[in-house]
Amino acid sequence: MQDWALSTTSREHRSRLLQGMAQAVAVKGYGDTTIADVVSQAGVSRRTFYEHFSGKAECLVALYEAASHNALRVLREAIDPSHGWEQQVDRAIGAYLQCMAGNLVLMRTLFVEILALGPVGLAARRRVNQEIADYMVAVVNAPHVTPGLAMAVVGGIHELVLQAIEDGKVDELPDLTATAAALVKAIARRP
Protein backbone atom coordinates (compact mmCIF):
# COMPACT_ATOMS: atom_id res chain seq x y z
CA MET A 1 0.00 0.00 0.00
CA GLN A 2 2.79 2.39 0.85
CA ASP A 3 4.54 1.81 -2.53
CA TRP A 4 1.29 2.64 -4.32
CA ALA A 5 0.92 5.86 -2.30
CA LEU A 6 4.48 6.84 -3.10
CA SER A 7 4.04 6.22 -6.82
CA THR A 8 0.79 8.20 -6.80
CA THR A 9 2.54 11.08 -5.05
CA SER A 10 5.42 10.80 -7.48
CA ARG A 11 3.05 10.98 -10.47
CA GLU A 12 1.32 13.98 -8.93
CA HIS A 13 4.65 15.74 -8.40
CA ARG A 14 5.72 15.02 -11.96
CA SER A 15 2.43 16.34 -13.29
CA ARG A 16 2.75 19.49 -11.18
CA LEU A 17 6.31 19.99 -12.40
CA LEU A 18 5.18 19.73 -16.03
CA GLN A 19 2.41 22.24 -15.36
CA GLY A 20 4.92 24.46 -13.57
CA MET A 21 7.24 24.29 -16.57
CA ALA A 22 4.39 25.19 -18.93
CA GLN A 23 3.38 28.18 -16.82
CA ALA A 24 6.92 29.44 -16.27
CA VAL A 25 7.87 29.16 -19.94
CA ALA A 26 4.62 30.85 -21.00
CA VAL A 27 5.52 33.84 -18.80
CA LYS A 28 9.29 34.08 -19.25
CA GLY A 29 10.21 32.01 -22.29
CA TYR A 30 12.41 28.95 -22.03
CA GLY A 31 15.72 30.81 -22.02
CA ASP A 32 14.82 32.95 -19.00
CA THR A 33 13.01 30.22 -17.07
CA THR A 34 14.93 28.82 -14.12
CA ILE A 35 14.38 25.68 -12.13
CA ALA A 36 13.40 27.96 -9.24
CA ASP A 37 10.60 29.33 -11.45
CA VAL A 38 9.39 25.83 -12.27
CA VAL A 39 9.36 24.58 -8.68
CA SER A 40 7.69 27.79 -7.51
CA GLN A 41 4.91 27.36 -10.06
CA ALA A 42 4.63 23.65 -9.19
CA GLY A 43 4.64 24.16 -5.44
CA VAL A 44 7.32 21.53 -4.89
CA SER A 45 10.94 21.57 -3.76
CA ARG A 46 14.04 21.76 -5.91
CA ARG A 47 14.92 18.30 -4.60
CA THR A 48 11.59 16.96 -5.93
CA PHE A 49 12.43 18.49 -9.32
CA TYR A 50 15.75 16.63 -9.44
CA GLU A 51 14.07 13.38 -8.42
CA HIS A 52 12.19 13.58 -11.73
CA PHE A 53 14.43 15.48 -14.14
CA SER A 54 18.14 16.03 -14.64
CA GLY A 55 17.55 19.63 -15.70
CA LYS A 56 15.11 22.02 -17.27
CA ALA A 57 15.72 20.72 -20.82
CA GLU A 58 14.63 17.22 -19.81
CA CYS A 59 11.56 18.69 -18.12
CA LEU A 60 10.61 20.68 -21.25
CA VAL A 61 10.99 17.59 -23.46
CA ALA A 62 8.80 15.61 -21.04
CA LEU A 63 6.19 18.38 -21.15
CA TYR A 64 6.32 18.44 -24.95
CA GLU A 65 5.93 14.68 -25.22
CA ALA A 66 3.12 14.48 -22.64
CA ALA A 67 1.10 17.27 -24.27
CA SER A 68 1.71 15.89 -27.75
CA HIS A 69 0.66 12.39 -26.72
CA ASN A 70 -2.49 13.83 -25.19
CA ALA A 71 -3.33 15.57 -28.50
CA LEU A 72 -2.62 12.35 -30.40
CA ARG A 73 -4.87 10.43 -27.99
CA VAL A 74 -7.65 12.93 -28.68
CA LEU A 75 -7.13 12.45 -32.42
CA ARG A 76 -7.29 8.65 -32.06
CA GLU A 77 -10.41 8.76 -29.90
CA ALA A 78 -12.20 10.93 -32.49
CA ILE A 79 -12.04 8.12 -35.05
CA ASP A 80 -15.44 6.44 -35.24
CA PRO A 81 -15.71 3.59 -37.78
CA SER A 82 -19.50 3.95 -37.80
CA HIS A 83 -19.03 7.12 -39.89
CA GLY A 84 -17.69 7.43 -43.43
CA TRP A 85 -13.97 8.00 -43.76
CA GLU A 86 -14.31 11.64 -44.84
CA GLN A 87 -16.42 12.47 -41.80
CA GLN A 88 -13.89 10.64 -39.63
CA VAL A 89 -11.12 12.84 -41.05
CA ASP A 90 -13.15 15.98 -40.29
CA ARG A 91 -13.90 14.79 -36.75
CA ALA A 92 -10.34 13.68 -35.99
CA ILE A 93 -8.67 16.83 -37.33
CA GLY A 94 -11.28 19.01 -35.64
CA ALA A 95 -10.77 17.27 -32.29
CA TYR A 96 -6.97 17.53 -32.63
CA LEU A 97 -7.10 21.26 -33.37
CA GLN A 98 -9.71 21.88 -30.66
CA CYS A 99 -7.46 20.10 -28.16
CA MET A 100 -4.58 22.37 -29.09
CA ALA A 101 -6.76 25.49 -28.95
CA GLY A 102 -7.80 24.47 -25.44
CA ASN A 103 -4.19 24.71 -24.26
CA LEU A 104 -3.27 28.30 -25.06
CA VAL A 105 -0.45 28.30 -22.50
CA LEU A 106 1.18 25.27 -24.06
CA MET A 107 1.02 26.11 -27.75
CA ARG A 108 3.94 28.54 -27.89
CA THR A 109 5.96 26.21 -25.68
CA LEU A 110 5.25 23.20 -27.88
CA PHE A 111 5.74 24.79 -31.26
CA VAL A 112 8.37 27.48 -30.60
CA GLU A 113 10.16 27.07 -27.28
CA ILE A 114 10.95 23.38 -27.83
CA LEU A 115 13.29 24.43 -30.62
CA ALA A 116 15.33 26.46 -28.11
CA LEU A 117 16.75 23.10 -27.02
CA GLY A 118 18.50 22.72 -30.36
CA PRO A 119 19.05 19.13 -31.51
CA VAL A 120 17.36 17.67 -28.41
CA GLY A 121 14.18 19.68 -28.99
CA LEU A 122 14.21 19.00 -32.70
CA ALA A 123 14.59 15.27 -32.04
CA ALA A 124 11.60 15.33 -29.66
CA ARG A 125 9.54 17.19 -32.26
CA ARG A 126 10.51 14.72 -34.97
CA ARG A 127 9.61 11.72 -32.77
CA VAL A 128 6.14 13.09 -32.11
CA ASN A 129 5.58 14.06 -35.76
CA GLN A 130 6.67 10.56 -36.76
CA GLU A 131 4.10 9.02 -34.40
CA ILE A 132 1.36 11.14 -35.98
CA ALA A 133 2.54 10.31 -39.52
CA ASP A 134 2.70 6.59 -38.68
CA TYR A 135 -0.83 6.79 -37.32
CA MET A 136 -2.00 8.49 -40.51
CA VAL A 137 -0.43 5.76 -42.67
CA ALA A 138 -2.10 3.06 -40.57
CA VAL A 139 -5.53 4.70 -40.58
CA VAL A 140 -5.61 5.68 -44.26
CA ASN A 141 -4.24 2.23 -45.15
CA ALA A 142 -3.64 3.01 -48.83
CA PRO A 143 -0.46 1.98 -50.66
CA HIS A 144 0.08 5.44 -52.14
CA VAL A 145 0.15 7.08 -48.70
CA THR A 146 3.81 6.60 -47.92
CA PRO A 147 5.48 7.52 -44.65
CA GLY A 148 7.13 10.48 -46.39
CA LEU A 149 3.84 11.74 -47.77
CA ALA A 150 2.20 11.39 -44.35
CA MET A 151 5.07 13.32 -42.75
CA ALA A 152 4.61 16.08 -45.33
CA VAL A 153 0.92 16.33 -44.40
CA VAL A 154 1.74 16.45 -40.68
CA GLY A 155 4.37 19.12 -41.34
CA GLY A 156 1.92 21.15 -43.41
CA ILE A 157 -0.75 21.04 -40.73
CA HIS A 158 1.76 21.97 -38.05
CA GLU A 159 2.94 24.93 -40.15
CA LEU A 160 -0.66 26.17 -40.20
CA VAL A 161 -0.72 25.81 -36.40
CA LEU A 162 2.60 27.65 -36.07
CA GLN A 163 1.29 30.50 -38.22
CA ALA A 164 -1.78 30.78 -35.98
CA ILE A 165 0.49 30.90 -32.92
CA GLU A 166 2.64 33.62 -34.46
CA ASP A 167 -0.49 35.59 -35.41
CA GLY A 168 -1.90 35.30 -31.88
CA LYS A 169 -4.84 33.23 -33.10
CA VAL A 170 -4.43 29.98 -31.18
CA ASP A 171 -8.06 30.16 -30.10
CA GLU A 172 -8.99 30.05 -33.81
CA LEU A 173 -7.20 26.74 -34.51
CA PRO A 174 -10.51 24.87 -34.99
CA ASP A 175 -11.14 27.20 -37.96
CA LEU A 176 -8.27 25.40 -39.72
CA THR A 177 -10.16 22.09 -39.67
CA ALA A 178 -11.53 22.41 -43.22
CA THR A 179 -8.11 23.27 -44.68
CA ALA A 180 -6.24 20.56 -42.78
CA ALA A 181 -8.93 17.95 -43.50
CA ALA A 182 -8.92 18.87 -47.20
CA LEU A 183 -5.18 18.18 -47.28
CA VAL A 184 -5.60 14.75 -45.66
CA LYS A 185 -8.53 13.89 -47.94
CA ALA A 186 -6.64 14.93 -51.08
CA ILE A 187 -3.75 12.66 -50.15
CA ALA A 188 -6.06 9.78 -49.20
CA ARG A 189 -8.02 10.00 -52.47
CA ARG A 190 -5.00 10.16 -54.73
CA PRO A 191 -4.68 6.97 -56.82
125-158 pLDDT, tens digit each: 999 999 999 998 888 877 888 999 999 999 999 9
The pLDDT, as a whole number, for residue 134 is 93
Q: What DSSP letter does each residue of 123-145 carry, written as one string?
A: HHHHHHHHHHHHHHHHHH--TT-
Shared-domain flag, residues 6 and 25: yes
Shared-domain flag, residues 105 and 146: yes
Cα(188)–Cα(144) distance, integer angstroms: 8
Shared-domain flag, residues 33 and 59: no
* pLDDT (tens digit per residue) in 46-55: 999 999 999 9
Total tally of structural domains belonging to the chain: 2
* pLDDT (tens digit per residue) in 53-104: 999 999 999 999 999 898 889 988 988 888 888 888 899 999 999 998 988 7
For residue 23, the domain's CATH number is 1.10.10.60
Contacts 24+ apart (CB under 8 A), 131-134: 131/68, 131/69, 131/72, 132/72, 132/75
Whether 16 contacts 39, CB under 8 Å: no
Closest CA to 154 of 119, 111, 91, 116: 111
Residue 3 has pLDDT above 80, yes or no: no
For residue 68, the domain's CATH number is 1.10.357
The pLDDT, as a whole number, for residue 1 is 41
Q: Which domain does 1 fall in, by range?
A: 1-53
pLDDT class of 191 with cuts at 50, 70, 90? low
What is the mean pLDDT of the segment spanning 165-174?
92
Kind plus residue range of the DSSP H or E element containing 79:
none
Residue 118 has pLDDT above 90, yes or no: yes
Residue 77 has a CB neighbour count (10 Å cut-off) of 12
Angle 120-126-132 from CA coordinates, rounded to 5°: 145
Shared-domain flag, residues 42 and 89: no
The pLDDT, as a whole number, for residue 46 is 97
